[in-house]
Amino acid sequence: MLRVEGLAAWYGEATVLRDVALTVAPGEVVTLVGRNGAGKSTLLRCLMGLHAGQRGTVTFDGRDLGPLPAHRRARLGLGWVPDDRGAYASLTVTENLTLPPAVGPDPWSLERVYESFPVLHERRDSAATQLSGGEQQMLALARVLRMGARLLLCDEPTEGLSPLLVARVGDIIRQVRDQGTAVLLVEQNLRFATGVADRHHLLAEGRVVETLRNEEVREREGELLTYLGI
């Protein structure tokens, strides 16, 4: 579904990604693990077409994304859940959800979104930035589901959430995965990562240095945590 080859990215003189290669298949959850500053968020921004300084090949369903601007990529089915959660202060919760066009074959209806996220229904007329951090995270996820995105690019969706909400995010990711949606997840929480994902890419020095399965992550948890500096 998603294929990345030889992706390099830079800010001015500073190279962040050198040669990244990875794939994500439909219904697969893949994580990107790495230290702060390893370029995980930059990688997602590259895929979304938001980062100017990049080179390499990105294909989605066999289609070269290279020349496409961000809004065209979104319309092909890429759903970005940014690390700052991207809530619009000048839009209500409902407007935040209905802003993006429905793009996929199976976009969620507003009713379905509100059924799955009752708290958003309760706060539907509030300005989105008045929600708590966890609620804003739900909103960011719900928004790309309502679009019907087929590949979610989630940037640390569990950061700063209570354990209860982390579990809720995990449920949602497993649920959409089972319906064939693919997820590329930036995640520092290894327990959470092994609970939802199939494969884990360790990003260091601008490339994927290792790809681990869940068992390997669990066996090497201590070593990985030390490496990640957590």
Partner 1 sequence: MSSFLQHTFDGLVSGAFLALLALGLAVIFGMLRVVNFAHGAFYMLGAVGTYLLLTEFGVPFWWALLIVPVVLGALGMGVERAFVHRLARLDPLYNFLLTFGLTLVLQDLVKLRYGTQSSPYATPSALDATVDFGLFDFPAYRVFVLAFAVVACVAVWWLLGHTRVGMVVRAATEHPELSRALGIDVGRWVTPVFGFGIALAGVAGVLAAPMRAVNPLMGADLVIVVFAVVVIGGLGSIFGSVAAGFGIGLVQAWGESYLDRWPIVAQTSVFVIMAVVLLWRPAGLFGREEAPA
For partner 1, give the closer residue by CB, 99 or 230.
99
* Residue 37: φ, ψ to 5°: 85, 5
Contact region with partner 1 (CB under 8 A), list: 30-38, 78-86, 111-119, 206-214: 78-86
| Site membership for partner 1, residue 209 (CB under 8 A) | no
Considering only 147, 169, 184, 208, the residue that binds partner 1 (CB under 8 A) is: 147
* Residue 227: φ, ψ to 5°: -60, -40
Considering only 55, 63, 71, 191, the residue that binds partner 1 (CB under 8 A) is: 71
For partner 1, give the closer residue by CB, 21 or 68.
68
- Least distance (Å) from partner 1 to the CB of residue 70? 4
Considering only 7, 24, 33, 48, the residue that binds partner 1 (CB under 8 A) is: 48
- Least distance (Å) from partner 1 to the CB of residue 1? 18
* Residue 126: φ, ψ to 5°: -80, 155
For the stretch 167-172, contacts whose Cβ atoms lie closer than 8 Å and that sit 24 or more positions apart, written own/partner, are 168/138, 169/137, 169/138, 169/141, 170/195, 170/196, 172/116, 172/141, 172/145
Place of tokens 């990049």: 54
| Site membership for partner 1, residue 166 (CB under 8 A) | no
Residue 210: partners with Cβ closer than 8 Å, 6 or more residues away: 201, 202
| Site membership for partner 1, residue 99 (CB under 8 A) | yes
**Total number of residues shown for the chain:** 230
Cα 1 to Cα 29, 58, 163, distances in angstroms: 12, 10, 32
| Site membership for partner 1, residue 143 (CB under 8 A) | yes
| Site membership for partner 1, residue 160 (CB under 8 A) | no
Binding region for partner 1 (CB under 8 A): 48-50, 69-71, 73-75, 80, 82, 84, 86, 88-91, 95, 98-101, 103, 143, 147
